[in-house]
Amino acid sequence: MTAFLEDNHYTTLNLGPTHPATHGIFQNVLTMDGEEIIAAEQTIGYIHRAFEKIAEHRPYYQITPLTDRLNYCSAPINNLGYHMAVEKLIGIRSNKRVDYMRIILMELARITDHLICNSVIGVDSGALTGFVYVFQERERVYEIYEEVSGARLTTNMGRIGGFERDFSPSAIRKIREFLDHLPKVLKEFEKLLMRNRIFMDRTIGVGGISAERALNYGFTGPNLRAAGVDYDVRVMNPYSSYDDFDFQIPVGTQGDTYDRFCVRQEEVWQSLKLIRNALDNLPEGDYHMEVPEFYLPPKEEVYDKMEALIWHFKIVMGEVNVPVGEIYHSVEAGNGELGFYLVSDGARAPYRLHFRRPCFVYYQAFPEMIKGGVLSDAILTMSSMNVIAGELDA
């Protein structure tokens, strides 16, 4: 803040809260010397909805819809990640079919997240058309979500202990269609931007961060990998049977906007491979685990059998016995390591639920990353870090 007060010949520019490039709502106060950024100060909290506090008053199964609204570009990862965290607390071991179904959905979500982020880099650099191409593909993924969960954006997917229903034949057909169709569009999109001279000039060496600084800040996900650190939760701390699969973790070298773009792009290809593998090897079995205390019984049984009716009533009212404990579970979300720190004192609601939100970490480094650059660089850096306001503010 001091720079603003001392040097009166600098301009102060309010980038946000409502600015076309701040996708979501957050403010940057830039001190500018002409077009050059001398200092930056960021403000967060414009869409803070106190999810962590709300979660302390809700039964476990009612917290899933809150996680939808963290990173709304890849809601299923948040949903399923939260379910896995609760299952870890309760001590349920998931079966393979549920694991593989989760992998398919989480990788689909990762693809949509990366597609949006990369195409928005295009939009912010002035190339609108690629955005529209990949948005059609996102639409296909949303149709798959619709088949699986009934919703599109805020999916509220799955239940604690599995899925509410199995993949329908049409869901599997849609996934296969998507797998066949996306590579063509993705190649076209890459042709538009990846080797485009203007785009490369705009992004190479822009908004870079060294691996050391990134680690100091606590970067994870594509932004850290772009800086050259091969940290991926899926490999380092495998969950949901990710260790059954063979896939590569792309790593960048410079940590700049172009590397972030390329890392995300390569991750989409890897995700496609993962989905194909998981779908081909989808094991037979039940689409949920045998946990009557947490997983709602089928409706027919609720009407006929007393036990099922009792469980149904208890689960819906949130009167289930959750063991006392404290766990941390993290998943590789679209943006990086999404962690759930869950403390239970045995009551119907968590004693404390903290979301470790990767965007929150990235945004702290934003002023450092844009300092010395020009205004256009700041915009591209922001969109390439994929700071999602919902996740930033929670």
Partner 1 sequence: MWSVFFRVICVLIVGDVTTLILYKVLLASGILILSLVVAMYSTLMERKMAAFFQDRLGPNRAGPWGILQPLADGIKLFFKEEFMPNTADKFLYILGPALTMFIALLTSAVIPWGPALVVNGTEYPLQIADVNIGILYIFAILSIGVYGIMIGGWASNNKYALLGAIRASSQMISYELGMGLSIVAVVMMTGSLSLGEIVDQQAGFNWNIWYQPLGFLIFLICAFAETNRAPFDLPECETELVGGYHTEYSSMKLGFYLFAEYINMFISGAVLATLYLGGYHFPFEDRLGLSVNGHAIIGFLVFFLKITFFGFLFIWVRWTLPRFRYDQLMKLGWKTLIPLAIFNVMITGLVILLRG
Q: Is 3 in the site for partner 1 (CB under 8 A)?
A: no
Q: Measured on CA atoms in the order 46, 22, 228, 269, is the torsion positive or negative?
A: positive
- Single out the segment in contact with partner 1 by CB under 8 A; choices: 11-19, 225-233, 298-306, 308-316: 11-19
At closest approach, how far in Å is the CB of 121 from partner 1?
9
Q: Which stretch binds partner 1 (CB under 8 A): 57-65, 197-205, 289-297, 303-311?
A: 197-205
Does 13 engage in binding with partner 1 (CB under 8 A)?
yes
List 196, 247, 282, 348, residue binding partner 1 (CB under 8 A): 196
Closer of 46 and 287 to partner 1 (Cβ): 46
Among 54, 123, 279, 343, binds partner 1 (CB under 8 A): 123
Supply the DSSP symbol for 243: G
CA distance 154 to 177: 23
Nearer to partner 1, 237 or 376 (CB): 376
Q: Does 374 bind partner 1 (CB under 8 A)?
A: yes
What residues form DSSP beta bridges with 344? Answer: 325
CA distance 344 to 333: 24
Phi, psi (5° rounding) for residue 263? Answer: -60, -45
Task: Specify the residue for token string 């393979």.
Answer: 96
Task: Tell the residue number behind the tokens 């959905």, with chain if given.
Answer: 105
Q: Interface with partner 1 includes 193 (CB under 8 A)?
A: yes
- φ and ψ at residue 183, rounded to 5 degrees: -55, -40
Which of 2, 9, 20, 280 lies at the binding interface for partner 1 (CB under 8 A)?
20
**Cα(229)–Cα(225) distance, integer angstroms:** 5
C-alpha span between 51 and 63 (Å, rounded):
9
- Quote the distance between the C-alpha of residue 86 and its chain's center: 18
- Provide the pairing of β-strand 337-344 with 325-332: antiparallel
**133 counts as binding partner 1 under rule CB under 8 A:** yes
- Using CB under 8 A, which of the segments 16-24, 207-215, 234-242, 315-323 binds partner 1? 16-24
256 lies in the site for partner 1, by CB under 8 A:
no
132 binds partner 1 (CB under 8 A): yes
Structure-token pair, residue 384: 């390439």
Stretch that binds partner 1, among 108-116, 128-136, 226-234, 323-331 (CB under 8 A): 128-136
Among 106-114, 196-204, 216-224, 285-293, which window interacts with partner 1 (CB under 8 A)?
196-204
CB of 381 to partner 1, least distance (A): 12
190 near partner 1, rule: CB under 8 A: no
Which of 135/328 has CB closer to partner 1?
135
Q: How far is the CB of 186 from partner 1 (least distance, A)?
A: 15
Question: How many C-beta neighbours within 10 Å does residue 93 have?
Answer: 7
For tokens 């785009």, name the residue: 199
What is the spatial distance between Cα 184 and Cα 163, in angstroms, rounded to a whole number?
A: 31
30-59 positions binding partner 1, by CB under 8 A: 34-35
For partner 1, which stretch binds (CB under 8 A), given 150-158, 269-277, 317-325, 369-377? 369-377
- Looking at 37, 94, 119, 122, which residue binds partner 1 (CB under 8 A)? 122
Output 254 or 271, the one with its CB closest to partner 1: 254
* Helix ranges (DSSP H) in the chain: 2-6, 51-55, 64-68, 75-90, 96-124, 129-149, 169-193, 197-203, 211-217, 221-226, 233-236, 257-280, 299-304, 306-317, 358-370, 375-385, 389-393
Please report how close the Cβ of residue 37 comes to partner 1 at its closest, in angstroms.
12
Q: Is 126 in the site for partner 1 (CB under 8 A)?
A: yes
For 277, other C-beta atoms within 10 Å of its C-beta total 18
Binding site for partner 1 (CB under 8 A): 11, 13, 19-21, 34-35, 122-129, 132-133, 136, 192-193, 196, 198-199, 201-202, 374-377, 379
